Amino acid sequence: MKTLKVALLGCGNVGSEVARILLADAPVLADRAGANLELSGIAVRNLETKRDAQIPAALFTTDAQSLVDGADIVIELLGGLEPAGELIARALSNGASVITGNKALLAARGAELNALAIKHGAQLRYEAAVAGAIPILRPISDSLSGDRITKIMGIVNGTTNFILDAMDTTGAAFDDVLAQAQALGYAEADPTADVEGHDAAAKATILASLAFHTDFDLADVHCEGITKITAADVTAAKDAGMVIKLLAIAERSADGIGVRVHPTLLRRNHPLAAVHGAFNAVFVEAENAGELMFYGAGAGGAPTASAVMGDTVAVARRVVSGGPLPAVAAQQPNTALSFEQITTSYAIGLRVSDEPGVLAAIAAIFAANSVSIEALRQSGSDSVDGGSAMLRIVTHRSTESALAATVAAVASLDAVQEVTSVLRVEGN
Ligand SMILES: NC(=O)c1ccc[n+]([C@@H]2O[C@H](COP(=O)([O-])OP(=O)(O)OC[C@H]3O[C@@H](n4cnc5c(N)ncnc54)[C@H](O)[C@@H]3O)[C@@H](O)[C@H]2O)c1
Ligand SMILES: N[C@@H](CCO)C(=O)O
Ligand code: NA
């Protein structure tokens, strides 16, 4: 049986699990791949760091470049843009195949690295980069390649789902739950990439590129995080039979493809509303398949290593079988919509003076901007006249630009004391 040299870059949360599986499950992996997958070395920063005693010390090296140059397959689990990018480019240029979980790098340089892989007849796979253990990239690019995807909505960041879910179930404030997520090890020490939506935006870039056969760029993705979501927003959502989730959405319309990440109101009977804790799920709509949902662990060392190993076996099988790589489907032009062109429904919270004519004035502004109102509810009058009332308006689908103009005009009315929230709504 052929032996393939596998170089592992990085021995952190995911890398250490990949090393464990490569060593412990070698016979099974050889059967599945049709080749021995020999762990030829592990690139680390510091040889002195205490590590898993099951991993032979002789495998560790600080010379990542030499390790890459001697490999048939390179698994990159360093994270960050460099030296990960340079090492992956080097491996592909050598004709070696690469597996990575590095969504930040792929969102920034995916098109270039995919082109480099094709140029050198190498494979580049990254199932671990989106929704960890959940098989989602291969279902999109292989299983659904005979269909036409119309929309993807994903809960693709475990940290933010944990926070929003805890706010929903306990009524706690954002800061308190974030501290809890950090204590439980879900959030990073600096959780900015999670809570500001950047991690989800990188994953949205990758998902949208594969689903719509285009090279999207991170700059094509409108991104809002969850830091402005208050306990009051969560309670208002609950009262309306809804839940707030941070969604990565990529949707095809007649004009192009809108890709966005933002907190979203979902009706509680939507399948994504049932995704709790740090779990991830991706909801896919395709013309012929209809609605599909993929659910599971989106993070964690062993779950993410499962996706890495699946890619490794798949890559090894093709190296063993040889021959040309499958022709890549013709790439479609990038038709990313600007954020202003994206259409969705909105829920707007207003605190208004409770006096005659206010509703009519607000409704007139919506009509003037062609934003159609689906539902309107008034609550919390604190006196019969001269007090304030809370209005909650849900709209039919309209463009972001029309909605922004409507909200600005409504906010300028004397009778409108505060726009308490503007949230997008998805699902029926
Ligand atoms: N942890 C997860 O749940 C998860 C899920 C999906 C994807 N990913 C991705 O997988 C990758 C690895 O994540 P992780 O959680 O294992 O990170 P980690 O920080 O635990 O591990 C990265 C390791 O690489 C080492 N490293 C960094 N630069 C190096 C260099 N120049 N030379 C040698 N070693 C270097 C670090 O010291 C660290 O041990 C990242 O791209 C991450 O985005 C992680
Ligand atoms: N920080 C990420 C890790 C997985 O990519 C999350 O919370 O989902
Ligand atoms: Na995945």
**What is the pLDDT, as a whole number, of residue 384?**
47
**CA separation for the pair 122, 213 (Å, rounded):** 19
Q: Tell me, what CATH number does 180's domain have?
A: 3.30.360.10
Does residue 327 form part of some domain? no
Residue 299 alpha carbon, nearest atom of ligand 2: 4
From 106, 164, 194, 247, mutation site for ligand 2 pocket: most ligand atoms within 8 A of C-beta: 194
Beta strand segments in 10-103, E: 36-43, 60-61, 73-76, 97-100
d(CA 185, CA 189): 9
Is residue 194 within 6 Å of ligand 2 at its C-beta?
Answer: yes
Q: What is the CATH number of the domain that holds 373?
A: 3.30.70.260
Output the six-digit token pair for 39.
Answer: 């762990």
Ligand 2 neighbourhood includes 158 CB (under 6 angstroms) = yes
101 Cα nearest atom in ligand 2: 5
Residue ending a domain, choose from 321, 356, 391: 321
Q: Considering the domain boundaries, does residue 326 fall inside one? A: no
Q: Specify whether 287 is located in the same domain as 316.
A: no
Mutate to test the pocket of ligand 2, among 13, 126, 157 (most ligand atoms within 8 A of CB): 157
Name 297's bridge partners: 279
303 pocket-lining for ligand 2 (C-beta < 6 Å): no
46 and 84, same domain (yes or no): yes
- Is 159 touching ligand 2 by the criterion CB < 6 Å? yes
Asked if residues 187 and 307 have their Cβ atoms less than 8 Å apart, the reply is no
The catalytic site residues sit at: 203
Residue-number span of the structural domain to which 278 is assigned: 137-297
Residues 111 and 51 in one domain: yes
Q: Is residue 189 part of a domain?
A: yes
Domain check: are 238 and 149 in the same one? yes
In order along the chain (428 residues), what is the average pLDDT of each group of 10 residues?
98 96 98 98 97 95 98 97 98 98 96 94 97 97 96 97 95 88 75 95 97 94 96 91 97 96 97 97 98 96 96 97 74 91 96 93 97 91 69 96 98 96 91
Between CA 288 and CA 403 the distance in angstroms is: 32
**Is residue 171 domain-shared with residue 61, that is, in the same domain?**
no
Answer yes or no: do 206 and 141 share one domain: yes
pLDDT of residue 187: 74
The atom of ligand 2 lying closest to the CA of 186 is: 7
Whether residues 154 and 282 fall in one domain = yes
Of 297, 331, 365, the residue at which a domain comes to its end is: 297
The closest ligand to the CA of 141 turns out to be 3
Q: Which one of 242, 263, 297 terminates a domain?
A: 297
Same domain, 157 and 286: yes
Report H helices in 272-370. Answer: 301-321, 358-368
User: Which of 17, 77, 100 is the pocket-test mutation for ligand 1 (most atoms within 8 Å of CB)?
Assistant: 77
Asked if the structure places residue 333 within a domain, the reply is no
Domain-located, residue 101: yes
CB-based contacts of 416, cutoff 8 Å, min separation 6: 350, 351, 352, 353, 358, 362, 410
In a domain, 22, yes or no: yes
Answer yes or no: is 336 within a domain.
no
Q: Which of 274, 261, 132 is nearest to 201 (CA)?
A: 261
The predicted structure's pLDDT at residue 183:
79
CATH of the domain at 44: 3.40.50.720
Report d(CA 241, CA 269) in Å as an integer. 9
Task: Tell me how far the alpha carbon of residue 59 is from its chain's centroid.
Answer: 34
Nearest CA to ligand 1 atom 8: 101
Residue 332 belongs to a domain: no
Checking ipTM against 0.90, whether it exceeds it is: yes
Provide the domain count of the chain.
3
| Helix axis angle, 174-183 to 158-170, nearest 10° | 130
Sequential DSSP letters for 221-287 = EEE--STT--HHHHHHHHHTTEEEEEEEEEEEETTEEEEEEEEEEEETTSGGGG--TTEEEEEEEET
Do 251 and 147 reside in the same domain of the chain? Answer: yes
Same domain (yes/no): 60, 161: no
> Do both 147 and 287 map to the same domain?
yes
Q: Whose CA is nearest to atom 34 of ligand 1?
A: 44
Does the pTM of the predicted model rise above 0.90? yes
* 3 state DSSP class of 104: helix
DSSP state of 215: -
Same domain, 119 and 172: no
